[in-house]
Structure 1
Amino acid sequence: MNLDQTSDILEIPDSWRQGWLKEKPFVKLFALEGKLYRHKDGRRTLQFEHEGKSYFAKLHHGLGWRRFLKSLFRLKWPISGAENEWQAIKLLEALDIPTTPLVAYGRRGTNPVNKQSFIITKDLDNCTSLEDFGREWPVKPPSPELKRALINEVARITGTMHRAGLNHCDLYICHFLLELENGRVLNPKSPILHLIDLHRVRQRRQLPRRWQIKDLAALHFSSFEIGLTRRDRLRFLKIYSQAPLRKVLADNPQLWQAVEKRGQAFYREFKRRGPR
């Protein structure tokens, strides 16, 4: 494989640099074995352990000419490696949005067809997704205090991200991880949520309306089956928009109508095709 060696990047902990990755780090990292979560489209995602600690690795092997040209024919520049997620983690941290703690990142080569790149993050093994946490809410609702706090935090994270020009592209409730201690929320008044799966995050000077709608509709549809009320959803709008509810609804009726319409379309498609 002909890789451009002039732009190699290797950001790893010093203990790893002096230890198990002292020689041939890329070779060793791309030979990692562990619990495989995904192996598709040139990317392998796995959980592994090192010195008693658990980590997640995303190993990108390049797009290949077929996928690269397919993206270009669709007038889209493809996301071809771990750089996007690496940058997104740093952006979210700067915005005070908890995410997966970054441990290591590397890139070898620049050609999207055949470059290698990886990102390693800590395993948030003390967390559960909001999708799983809310699965029983229709029959076993949480305390009003906890539900309000979770809605407020999802709205804060989403609003902060959108005002900074960031969109997630896959903003479903399964990508919000709730910190637990011994299976319980430690502080129901101030729960900690981590936003994950950032490989498609994009940043622009100002977030285009269509990407705002897509994110909000994804959140809306993915929460259809956890028993949220109209009052809960209005609370989200108020916190997300940082404005009185009356003003939010009066100023942007077309936005919320578009979100509702797109959310319903997502839900119909989900019911037709089932989980991917």
Structure 2
Amino acid sequence: MAGWVLDPAYSKLSPDFGSLGAVFALTGERVTQDPLSEVIRVERDGVRYYVKRYTGAGKGLRRYVGRPRVKAEWQNLKLFERWGIPTAPIVAYGLERRFGGFARGALITRELAWTEDLAALANVHDQRLRDSGWVRDVSRQLADATRSMHARRFAHNDLKWRNLLVDPQRNLFLIDCPTGAFWWGPFLQRRIIKDLACLDKVAKYQLRRTQRMRFYLQYVQRGHLTREDKSRIRQILDFFQGRE
């Protein structure tokens, strides 16, 4: 049994995107591949689309219980839209089950034209990372988006620079969130620390200490650090100790 949704705005693409079978028959430029999924890029009418096709529900227990990874991904992107967090537009999504278990699924998003991910900028030592105004604008947007998620008890769980896109107008977008989820109590606090540590893992090599501190103060919406902030910052700095 398959369930598939194509955004009506893209109905003219139904021959290619109108069913799960058609989507799995698509050919295109392979972007990534792992044991659970692959991403290909296709172009239609001058617009590029990313097609993520899953053949596995997830790792560990997710292979048998809980949301399949592809379902979590499209639901999380929809949450970002609802919360006003800029992300890639969803074109189509769905999955197929056999005998009650996950068989396959897919998610199609429209390309965010002229964007680059922050990890790629860091890898080539892009001069924008040396532009204090550019860093300030992007940092503010990232702080707002991260705070918005965490205030709702939601953690991204893969908040890395490669999943942050920026366009020439300095607009920031969050993408790729298949493992994001809602948490409570100490579990939430641990996930919040992980999100912030993932961001700082690259930032500590690319940004000045004052810029990293400004991001944190923007995130907590305070002008100075409290005792609790100092304790949390120590946890952030220690999170990946011995694992890098």
Q: TM-score range by the shorter chain?
A: 0.7 to 0.9
Unaligned runs of 5+ in 2: none
Does the CA-based 8 Å contact 1:81-1:118 persist in structure 2? no
Q: Distance in 2 between matches of 1:263 and 1:115?
A: 35
Report matched runs for 1:150-229 at 5 Å: 150-180=138-168, 186=169, 191-204=170-183, 208-226=188-206, 228-229=207-208
Q: In the alignment, which of 9, 29, 32 is matched to residue 26 of structure 2?
A: 32
Q: In the alignment, which of 109, 125, 129 is matched to residue 121 of structure 1?
A: 109
More deviation in 96-105 or 31-40? 31-40
Q: Does the residue aligned with 2:218 lie in a helix, a strand or coil? A: helix
1:56/1:116 CA distance change after superposition, 3 Å? same
Q: Distance in 1 between matches of 2:79 and 2:129?
A: 34
* Superposition TM-score, scaled by structure 1 size: 0.77
Q: Percent identity?
A: 24
Q: Distance in 1 between matches of 2:100 and 2:199?
A: 31
Aligned to 1:237: 216
Matched, 1:52 2:46: yes
Unaligned runs of 5+ in 1: 181-185, 269-276
Q: Structure 1 residue 49: deviation in Å?
A: 1.6
Aligned to 1:42: 36
Aligned to 2:15: 20
Q: Distance in 1 between matches of 2:129 and 2:13?
A: 50
Report matched runs for 1:79-158 at 5 Å: 80-109=68-97, 113-135=101-123, 142-158=130-146
1:42/1:172 CA distance change after superposition, 3 Å? closer
Does the CA-based 8 Å contact 2:95-2:106 persist in structure 1? yes
Q: Structure 1 residue 136: deviation in Å?
A: 5.5
Q: Which amino acid aligns with 2:27?
A: E
* Superposition TM-score, scaled by structure 2 size: 0.86
Q: Which amino acid aligns with 2:96?
A: R
Structure having the larger proportion of residues in strand: 2
Q: Structure 1 residue 135: deviation in Å?
A: 4.4
The structure whose Rg is larger is 1
Task: Count residues with an aligned counterpart.
Answer: 242
Kindly report the root-mean-square deviation, in angstroms, between the aligned alpha carbons of the 2 structures: 2.9
Q: Does the residue aligned with 1:245 lie in a helix, a strand or coil? A: coil
Structure having the larger proportion of residues in helix: 2
Q: Does the residue aligned with 1:98 lie in a helix, a strand or coil? A: coil
Q: Which amino acid aligns with 1:166?
A: F
